[in-house]
Amino acid sequence: MTQISTADSRPVETTAVAVLGAISFCHLLNDMMQSLLPALYPILKSSLGLGFGEIGLITLTYQLTASVLQPVIGLAADKRPQPYSLVAGMGFTLVGLLLLSHSGSLYVLLAAAAMIGMGSSIFHPEASRVARMASGGRHGLAQSFFQVGGNFGSALGPLLAAFIVLPRGQGSVAWFSLAALLGMILLSRVGGWYKAHMSAKAKLGRAASAHSTGLSAKQTGFAITILLLLVFSKYFYLASITSYFTFYLIEKFHVSVETSQLYLFIFLGAVALGTIIGGPIGDRFGRKRVIWASILGVLPFTLILPHANLFWTGTLSAVIGVILASAFPAIIVYAQELLPGKVGMVAGLFFGFAFGMGGIGAAVLGQLADATNIRFVYQVCAFLPAIGLLTALLPSMHRRESARA
């Protein structure tokens, strides 16, 4: 990686872009490999005779492993950064993929899901910190660019499953461990850049810690709670799509597994587009406005989706993906502004909570689908975005920043 020069702004900008691009690409690799797990569900369901509840349990294991450790790792990294922990996180994912490719029982699948989840819990807090360090002050844009790598990776998972894993079988998952190896090589370079600029990062951290938002501890805690509730509504709904959309399309419209995977790819691609849009708009117009428009604005489309035909189901799912995904970069940066100096903890808390809600949502919705039917799940989940009304209770940080300036 190009070294930063304090005497010339051009190398600084080049290095920031290079590091941001590298960490976003590694996020793509990381989430692409992790998305292979839900993409394999149709194969695993038929080959191992799993029910929706057991599929939900696999997702729950992955999501909880990915979520519980993240805030702890983020808080520890705020106090004592570990630049090369990113390489270790990718190593856990590599081991999980190898287990997944040879798993012949539910217990081995749960172990593989846990390893992949641990890799995620290590990767996300520190990678989010690196993205903020490389932002040049445009935190929303950097967060979007970082997250969109993960979104594109998640979108690639079903596509790769449809054209590689489904025709070749479960064992072909092992080939994707090469992507993990590539990620480890790139992250070792990022870790070197991170380590070389620890002193500069520490100065930025102390400056951020001295900065005051003008909010009391009670007001800050209330705002963080509201943001977590918004994340709950977003990821509980996303769990209904990422885990069960293929089954919904197969049951309602009698499409093939390959076709259902393509529709899931379209949705996840729309999520990636919404993510890259949300951050820059938040930088320009304020995080609260983006959060408001995203969470609540998607409600009319989620209410229509369960009653649409196949064409409009695909179209509406894409619209929902774009609108709903635009909120998360704004939520992360908004929370980091509420708790300055705690970048890693905030990233770990919100990424972890998002994964946890996705896992709990998958488990609960799987049980609900077993007890009723998969169509009923989408009728219930359609009302979740109404929680976005709570956005009205958030303080307007954009106005506070303008007043301080």
Residue 16: which H helix or E strand, with range? Answer: helix 9-39
pLDDT at position 181: 93
Cβ-based neighbours of 99, under 8 Å, separated by 6 or more = 108, 111, 112, 115
- Rounded to whole angstroms, the Cα distance separating 285 from 200 reads 29
In 3-state terms the chain splits into helix, strand, coil percentages (rounded to 5) of: 85, 0, 15
- Tokens 């943001």 correspond to 227
* Fold of the 9-404 domain: Growth Hormone; Chain: A; (1.20.1250)
pLDDT at position 212: 59
Burial class of residue 211 (count of CB atoms within 10 Å of its CB; 0-12, 13-18, 19+) = exposed
Closest residue by Cα to residue 160 from 351, 60, 61, 31? 31
Per-residue pLDDT 10s for the chain (405 aa) are 444 333 333 344 444 788 888 999 999 999 888 878 877 887 788 878 788 788 888 878 887 787 777 888 888 877 777 788 899 999 999 999 999 888 778 888 899 999 998 998 889 888 888 888 887 777 788 888 888 888 778 778 777 877 888 788 778 888 888 999 999 999 999 888 888 766 655 554 544 444 556 788 888 999 999 999 999 988 888 888 888 898 999 999 999 988 888 898 889 888 888 888 888 888 788 788 888 888 878 999 999 999 999 999 999 999 999 998 888 888 988 898 888 878 878 888 888 888 778 778 887 888 898 888 889 999 999 998 988 888 888 887 655 444 444
- Rounded to whole angstroms, the Cα distance separating 152 from 28 reads 6
pLDDT at position 200: 56
Looking at the whole model, is its pTM more than 0.75? Answer: no
- Pair of tokens at residue 312: 């409009």
pLDDT at position 203: 55
- Pair of tokens at residue 245: 């959309």
Residue 378: which H helix or E strand, with range? Answer: helix 374-381
Closest residue by Cα to residue 330 from 401, 254, 277? 277
pLDDT at position 184: 94
The Cα-based distances of 69 to 125, 133, 238 in angstroms read 10, 22, 21
pLDDT at position 27: 92
Sorted by where each begins, the domain ranges of the chain are 9-404
